[in-house]
Amino acid sequence: MIEIGIIGGTGYTAGELIRLIIHHPKARINSVVSKSNPGKWIHCIHQDLLGEINMKFTRSLNKEIDIVFLCSGHGQSRKELKKISDHVKVIDLSQDFRILNQSVFEGRNFIYGLPELQKDVIKKSYNIANPGCFATAVLLSILPLAQNNLLKKQIHISAITGSTGSGKKISETNQFSWRTNNISTYKIFQHQHIQEIKQVIHKVQNNFSSEIYLIPYRGNFSRGIIATLYTYSSFSLEKNREIYKEYYKRHPFVEVSDINIDIKQVVNTNKCILYLLKEKDQLIVISIIDNLIKGASGQAVQNMNLLFNLDETCGLRLKSVRF
């Protein structure tokens, strides 16, 4: 059994991570650290886990662990890493190590953990920077084009995310009375995940120099992301579909749909589903993921599976909550 420690155990991503690992056939939760709730039963914070786990939050990690998931939030991971033994593998769910010039700390070199980008590299790694949720949804809709050197002009993206993307910390824009029956844009062209997206695209297609424009929206639902991008393409829709299906044939969590898609198809799953359209010379790609699973905790478990030479789908064959 893989012995697992989690730091920052009270947030949404930690709750989903605990839920996934409880039912993972090859992993076991050893300790869950919470600075705000040490000694409290985990199911008192994550009430959906009542009857699923009989464990309390601790102040510190137990020593006998194989891997630590850092869920403390952005800017906290460096502090936590100083307390973790060098022999323990690390998956960080914050943005602290995703950018190349920030990816080395205390002798640890963090690899960008998008399996559909570099699965074989992840398998040989020790430290993983889990991608951001918007970055995951967008990159999975662009990678086949970049891999085939087909990005020629600007990329325009609009993407809407559920309220869980803002985390548990209360703010005006994630309260129910503000969020319900409402929608708004934020961080237009300035979202932090744009840097991740550009970094990956330039790595895959280094001659791409056009701009990438992202308009994020706050949605009036709890979980999921739908991202729609368009960019120039000289190929037919059929040829583009062929390129996408060929690229993803060895990646079990990405599907290319021949009919239109909606968020409920992926909620509670580690899937990304793509749908392609063509209007004149513009290729349109629609991408859907669950921001807490494929956009965070599920992808982290997928990376753990790769780190320990397990089938990457282990513990992640989940059905969507459709109705």
Q: What is the per-residue pLDDT for 195?
A: 93
Query: Same domain for 122 and 241?
Result: no
Pairing mode of beta strands 2-7, 27-33: parallel
Clarify whether residues 124 and 167 are in a common domain. no
- Tell me whether residue 280 is in a domain: yes
Q: Do residue 137 and residue 273 come from a single domain?
A: yes
Whether 21 and 109 map to the same domain: the answer is yes
Q: Are 228 and 134 in contact (CB under 8 A)?
A: no
101 shares a domain with 126: yes
Confirm whether 318 is domain-assigned.
no
pLDDT value at position 322? 73
- The identity of residue 85, as a single letter, is S
Catalytic site positions: 133
Pair 6, 101 in one domain: yes
Helix (H) or strand (E) holding 5: strand 2-7
Q: Which residues of the chain fall short of a pLDDT of 50?
A: none
Whether 241 is in a domain gets the answer yes
Angle between helical axes of 237-247 and 133-147 (0-180°, round to 10)? 110
CATH code at position 233:
3.30.360.10
Q: Which residues pair with 68 in a beta bridge?
A: 5, 90
Residue pointed to by tokens 């037919």: 236
pLDDT of residue 291: 96
Q: Which residues contact 4 (CB under 8 A, 6 or more apart)?
A: 21, 27, 28, 29, 30, 65, 66, 67, 68, 69, 304
pLDDT for res 63? 83
Residue 85 is assigned to a structural domain of this protein: yes
Domain-embedded: residue 313: no
Residue 314 lies in a domain: no
Whether 193 and 216 map to the same domain: the answer is yes
Residue partners of 301: CB distance under 8 A and separation at least 6 = 17, 20, 21, 24, 270, 315, 316
What is the residue-wise DSSP string for 240-306? Answer: HHHHHHHHGGG-TTEEEESS---GGGTTTSS-EEEEEEEETTEEEEEEEE-TTIIIIIHHHHHHHHH
**Residue 27 zone, left/alpha/beta (φ > 0; ψ -120 to 50; rest):** beta
What is the b/e burial string over 59-86, where b = at least 16 CB atoms within 10 angstroms of the residue's CB?
eebeeebbbbbbbbbeebbeebbeebee
CATH of residue 93: 3.40.50.720
* Total tally of structural domains belonging to the chain: 2
Residue 78 belongs to a domain: yes
Structural domain includes residue 6: yes
Q: Can you tell me the distance from the alpha carbon of 117 to that of 162, in angstroms, rounded to the nearest whole number?
A: 25
* Residue 263 and residue 199 in one domain: yes
Q: What is the pLDDT of residue 171?
A: 65
For residue 8, give its domain range: 2-130+294-307
Q: Are 30 and 92 in contact (CB under 8 A)?
A: no
Summarised one tens digit per residue, pLDDT across range 243-265 is 999 999 999 999 999 999 999 99
Contact between 33 and 7 (Cβ < 8 Å): yes
User: Is residue 137 domain-shared with residue 240, that is, in the same domain?
Assistant: yes
**Pair 148, 242 in one domain:** yes
92 with 176, same domain: the answer is no
Tell me the two tokens of residue 297. Answer: 């905790």
Contact 155, 285 (CB under 8 A): no
